[in-house]
Amino acid sequence: MRSEEVVLSFSILLLCLPICLGGDTLKANQSITHHHSNGNLVSSNATFELGFFSPAEKSGGKYLGIWYHGLEPQTVVWVANRDDPVPDSSGVFRIAEDGNLVVEYAFRSLWSSGLGASSSSNRTLQLLDSGNLVLKEDDSEATYLWESFKKPTDTFLPGMKMDATMSLTCWKDSANPAPGNFTFKLTQQAEKRSFVVQYHSKIHWAPDEFDTEAASQVVFNLLNNDIWSTKTYNYSNKTVFVSQPYMYYKSRLLMNSRGEIVFLEWDEAESNWTKIWSGPENKCDIPDYCGSFGLCNKDNFIQCRCLPGFSSIQGFPSDRESESQGCARKSTTCTSTNEGVMFLNLTNIKVADPDEEINTETEGKCQSMCINMCPQSQCQAYSFNSTTYGDRGSYSCNIWTRPLSSLVENYLRGHDLSIMVKKSDIAPTAKSCEPCGTYAIPYPLSNGSNCGDPMYNYFNCNKSTGKVSFMIPGGIPYPVTWIDEDSRMFSIQTNYFNSFNYSFSSQNSTDFPFKVQYNEDAVIKINWLPAPEPPCSQLTDCMNWPHSTCRATREGGSRCHCDSNYNWNNTLMSCTQEEQSGNHSTRLELILLATLGSLAAVTCIIAFGIVWRKKKSLKHGDNL
């Protein structure tokens, strides 16, 4: 008898549970308010809940939304009145007389489902196990008049299908569901469909649907409402993709306020959300992040820099809201004669689509076509590709005429890119070393005995990789990530700062021409001291340094000392003429005479004014 009572009590509890939770449906004569949260809708499997919430902890507006039931912290997946919050706890959500869903405050509608007016009073709202909130006629289970899956906010859930009418717009911030700066959507151009993240109306990032990473394939399948996903296996050093079901339970795709699209799964063991995939992975994935002719390297802390032969127009961005002006050519390359030009040859470079594609069988012809475009149009760069299939070959010559954008180095599927530059801007001279890959090595820095100043020969160029290293005796090579000639500064990255600091500080301070200016995390900025007169071993070595002669120094060795009446200018890196003392005296005399003349003129004007006023006063007295 006792056991029968227990079973009966438990059965009654199970039957009452949906009622206590508010059930999963709302009728035309019912409503949900902030005061009575026990009336919230909860899906039949207790995964999702619909009700009013406040994203700010202490104060703020109230919103009608859907969140994961019972999870902490509260995870909201849909918001109705994101543009118009309820100012206090007096909001009401119901099915209005015209059949629409409405959020009301003080008899004013803050949000509506926007359906055409209907006199039907037989409509029911239901929160499904998928998280989809659907409005339907009581006699129609299959047809939905309205559903939240077609009107998402910032979250995409399993069961949705992305189409051109749908978009995800991030919150302004974690406490404000109002629309933010970033939107994820599907775009259609001709027959090409692609997903993009937009910053306002500009493309912020475009995911690569052909990315072979399994996690990203899971995301693409989710967006297409495809329950099959891709799992990778390694077989004979090849990656094989096999489709198998992927369990999307308690997973979501979020467009966050930082411009990232993030795929998350709930970890039951850890009771938190785990990030499975996100994009963009780094700033270099953002189109044109470094501006025209600006090169991006995702592995560098300072990710943007100019190509050799180019200089920065106005700095580089620290985030998406900082617009980069990129880089500009130091000299014009496109002239009627096309003399003095050469090509900077780079490998594995990601770049925007070419402006022209021409069939040519040799790289020489491709290069000639690029050069011969001047002066009608400017050829910025070319890329020649050849592929052989058995006894047949395929050739293509891609040419860029607009400023190069979205440049990324060390890109797996990148181009071999040849950029036209002025020879005088990058070719090695008596003053400087030749570029190393994408790095210009300005004077006096040196990576060999035949260029730069031997005092600064602490650099190494790996020609096969195009990487530059900073070498300290007794230390290890430190990768150089940035060199700026104007500020006389370069940066290195290291995870062994203490080792670097010891090696650096142990150098002779009088002979070592470098000083650490800044260090943070793994990045160290180093300043090089102004260079003295250039070294020389014979008189002809100074021919490239006007107004100088090769003479011995007191410290030993010889340098190109400036001739009489000339001084070494370590800013201009040249001998500049002294100002003649006679000319200096004459200039002072002229300045003195001009000053005295001006004072005399001012005195005369003042005296004239005084006399004139006195005469005017006397005349006025006579009239009286």
Query: Among 33-37, 92-96, 128-132, 277-281, whose mean pLDDT is lowest?
Result: 33-37
Q: Are 291 and 309 in contact (CB under 8 A)?
A: no
For residue 223, being part of any structural domain is answered with: yes
Per-residue pLDDT at 618: 56
Indicate the number of domains in the chain.
5
For residue 1, being part of any structural domain is answered with: no
Residues 267 and 197 in one domain: yes
For residue 352, the Cα-to-chain-centroid distance in whole angstroms is 16
Please name the amino acid found at residue 307: L
Q: Are 122 and 139 in contact (CB under 8 A)?
A: yes
Query: Among 71-75, 204-208, 388-392, 473-477, whose mean pLDDT is lowest?
Result: 388-392
Residues 206 and 89 in one domain: no
The span from the CA of 24 to the CA of 19, in Å, is: 9
Entry pTM = 0.72
Per-residue pLDDT at 215: 64
**pLDDT value at 238 more than 70:** no
Banded pLDDT at 19 (limits 50, 70, 90):
very low
Per-residue pLDDT at 380: 94
Which residues on adjacent β-strands are paired with residue 569? 574
Please report, for residues 474, 515, 551, 552, 573, the alpha-carbon distance to residue 510 in angstroms, rounded to integers and kept in the order given. 18, 11, 22, 19, 21
- The tokens of 440 are what? 């210009």
Residues 532-547 pLDDT 10s: 999 988 898 898 889 9
For residue 79, being part of any structural domain is answered with: yes
The number of helix segments (H) and strand segments (E) in the chain equals 6, 42
Residues 247 and 350 in one domain: no
Where in the sequence is the domain holding 343, given as residue range(s)? 294-426
Q: Are 425 and 309 in contact (CB under 8 A)?
A: yes
Residues 277 and 299 in one domain: no
**pLDDT value at 527 more than 50:** yes
At residue 57's C-alpha, the angle toward residues 53 and 63, to 5°, is 20
Per-residue pLDDT at 339: 77
Domain boundary, last residue among 248, 281, 314: 281
Query: Residue 102 sits in a domain of what CATH number?
Result: 2.90.10.10
Residues 315 and 403 in one domain: yes
Residues 339-349 pLDDT 10s: 788 899 998 99
- The tokens of 331 are what? 């000299």
For residue 69, being part of any structural domain is answered with: yes
Banded pLDDT at 15 (limits 50, 70, 90):
very low
Domain boundary, last residue among 151, 179, 196: 151
Torsion angle (degrees, nearest 10) of CA 328, 334, 338, 339: -30
Of 268 and 1, which is predicted with more confidence? Answer: 268
Residues 69 and 139 in one domain: yes
Per-residue pLDDT at 263: 94
Which one, of 212, 237, 217, lies nearest residue 227 by Cα?
217
**pLDDT value at 21 more than 60:** no
The span from the CA of 487 to the CA of 534, in Å, is: 20
- The tokens of 571 are what? 């800013």
Residues 390 and 319 in one domain: yes
Count of beta carbons in the 10 Å neighbourhood of residue 15: 9
Please report, for residues 23, 110, 134, 440, the alpha-carbon distance to residue 129 in angstroms, rounded to integers and kept in the order given. 12, 27, 11, 60
Residues 184 and 123 in one domain: no
Backbone angles phi, psi at 584, to 5 degrees: -65, -40
Radius of gyration, CA atoms only, the chain: 37
Residues 422 and 472 in one domain: no
Banded pLDDT at 614 (limits 50, 70, 90):
low
Residues 515 and 560 in one domain: no
The span from the CA of 255 to the CA of 167, in Å, is: 10
Backbone angles phi, psi at 219, to 5 degrees: -65, -45
β 261-267/548-552 pair status: unpaired
Of 118 and 213, which is predicted with more confidence? Answer: 118
For residue 623, being part of any structural domain is answered with: no
For residue 445, being part of any structural domain is answered with: no
Per-residue pLDDT at 237: 40
Per-residue pLDDT at 570: 86
Domain boundary, last residue among 426, 445, 478: 426
**What's the mean per-residue pLDDT of the chain?**
82
Query: Among 7-21, 453-467, 580-594, whose mean pLDDT is lowest?
Result: 7-21
Per-residue pLDDT at 255: 98
Per-residue pLDDT at 70: 93
Residues 380 and 474 in one domain: no
Span 404-424, average pLDDT: 90
Percent of residues, the chain, with pLDDT higher than 90: 42
For residue 433, being part of any structural domain is answered with: no
For residue 14, being part of any structural domain is answered with: no
Residues 182-194 pLDDT 10s: 999 998 776 677 8
| 493 CB-near residues (< 8 Å, 6+ apart) | 300, 301, 478, 479, 481, 522, 523, 524
Residues 174 and 220 in one domain: yes
